[in-house]
Amino acid sequence: MSASQLLVGYASATLTVPDPVHLLGQFHMRLNTGVQDDVAAQVMFLGNDADSVIFVSIDTEEIQPYLVTEVQRKVHLRNARIPVESLLLHATHTHGAPSYLRDDHPGLAEAAQFPHPGYVIPSGDSYRAEMTDRLAEAILRAWDNRAPGAMAYGYGYATAGHCRRVCYYREQSGRTGIARNGTCVMYGSTDTAEFSHFENGGGDAMMQVLYTFDRHRTLTGAVICLPCPFQLDESDERTTASFAHEIRETIRSIHPELPVLLLSGAGGDVSPRMLYAKQAEDRRFRLKYAGETAKSSEYFRRRDIAERVGAAFEEILSWASRELDSFPKIRHLREIVPLPARQVSLSEYEYVKTVRAEWERAGEWSADDGSREEVLRHNSTRQSVLNLADEVLRRYERPVVAWDVEVHAIRLGDFACVTVPLELYQDYHYQVQARSPMTQTMVVQMVNDSLGYLSTTRADAGGGYSAGYLNKVSPEGGRILVDRLLALLLRTKADE
């Protein structure tokens, strides 16, 4: 494989809208009451004469295939030279972005599915039209902004994610949504004698960065991959990019206006929140940020993470910039991989039927049953549970053998990136990184689709939300996925 001059192009788009919108990410529907900070999309083109990749990091909760298709169509109509098959649309997984989902989307409740007296809730269709226009425009500008450049890469440490699956000595009662708790509970209490351990041991603190430079060795942009979703302030009722906003601000305080793409690495079993040492953390924030006013309930935690990321960014840059590559070998491979479905057992089927029946009996509330906020919360939560329960019941009644999963493997010199459309447990990214033929490999989740969690065998046995019958792909599928990703990485080196 011959290598030609690297071309680099960046652009961005603001995705905030002033109108009331439904914010994605919770079982109950939230209408934004304002803007805490802007949500945005950052685009980076990397390519040469051989191949290319276009990363699109979007402050949103999930990526649906119809979003990808609409963006590809709009880009192609305006510039057929842009390789739309190279587009990788990634969700940072903030829970504070407007909903672009179709009214008939099968999942959490959409406004057309339940009564919401006292509220006018815009359709996600109208926002999606504007969103895809802005995304397409940013991609076109990134293409037009291409210029000769160089890349460098490295890694450091910036703790963001902590395991959120709490394990106990005995099975726990109760459920989260329609997920039955077992010996593990997502966000379970640790202040109890029943607490045993965190399922994955804690969380990965590795931060990976891909930097780009112009011909004068001036930094022009960067991609940061953190193995953690960008989801603090999940219940806030304001538009927010979560701590992605503080990270960009922190880095730009040193490198003004620098394009920074944030990618969520494998983080299905972690969140940016410690579930222990709460008093110590409160004291840390009280002393560290003395005299400052918090902009949200988790503002200091957001700042704390961003400061660690900013420090790691500079530390990695200090040595990674000693080795620039202006002529990297580039190969971008895409494959549809059938992964075995996670089958729903009879006992799980009967349990979900029971949960569904409870919520069916609860009935829809009218304006006479509570405040408009209470009615909205009840009706939307109820509809979300019914939707998810119906999906699980269908998978038992009409079993699916396998799910077709779109994966990508990108070689950029001795650096590599693989992408999956899942919320991937961290065991799998350790397996890919340990066996990868490349010098450094980042595993990026939630790209070009949203197929839910991919948990491990031990998580499936432990139960709780994010594991078990709620998942479409089985843990066995996880092992197959790792093998296919590694095979693709080997193919990117095959013609050396």
Closest CA to 55 of 419, 323, 436: 419
Q: Report yes or no on 174 lying in a domain.
A: no
In a domain, 178, yes or no: no
- Mind giving me the DSSP string for 304-349? HHHHHHHHHHHHHHHHHTTS-BSS--EEEEEEEEEEEB-PPPHHHH
Point out which residues pair with 90 in neighbouring strands: 57, 447
Does residue 430 fall inside a structural domain?
yes
For the purposes of burial, counting CB atoms within 10 Å of the CB of 71, is it exposed (0-12), middle (13-18) or buried (19 or more)? buried
Alpha-carbon gap, residue 108 to 384, rounded angstroms: 4
**Residues 378, 119 contacting (CB under 8 angstroms):** no
Structure tokens given for 149: 């450049």
* Number of domains into which the chain is organized: 1
pTM of the model as a whole: 0.97
pLDDT at position 122, please?
87
Q: What is the pLDDT of residue 495?
A: 67
Tell me, yes or no, whether 396 lies in a domain.
Answer: no
- The answer to whether residue 354 is domain-embedded is no
**168 phi and psi, to 5 degrees?**
-125, 165
DSSP state of 236: -
| Backbone Cα Rg of the chain | 22
Per-residue model confidence (pLDDT) at position 106 = 76
Q: What share of the chain is helix, strand, coil (3-state, %, to 5)?
A: 35, 25, 40
Cα distance between residue 174 and residue 197, in whole Å: 19
**Residue count of the chain:** 496
Residues 6+ apart with CB under 8 A from 194: 168, 169, 170, 172
**DSSP-derived secondary structure letter, 199:** T
pLDDT of residue 496: 66
Per-residue model confidence as pLDDT tens digits over 423-445: 999 999 999 999 999 999 999 99
Cβ–Cβ under 8 Å, residues 8 and 152? no
Contact 438, 411 (CB under 8 A): yes
Q: Are the CB atoms for 359 and 386 separated by under 8 Å?
A: yes
Domain membership of residue 126 as a residue range: 7-162+199-338+402-492
Q: Enumerate residue ranges in the chain where pLDDT < 50.
A: none
Q: Which residues pair with 440 in a beta bridge?
A: 415
Distance CA 221, CA 47 (A): 15
Is 381 within a domain? no
Using the Cα atoms of residue 210, residue 213, residue 218 and residue 220 in order, give the sign of their dihedral. negative
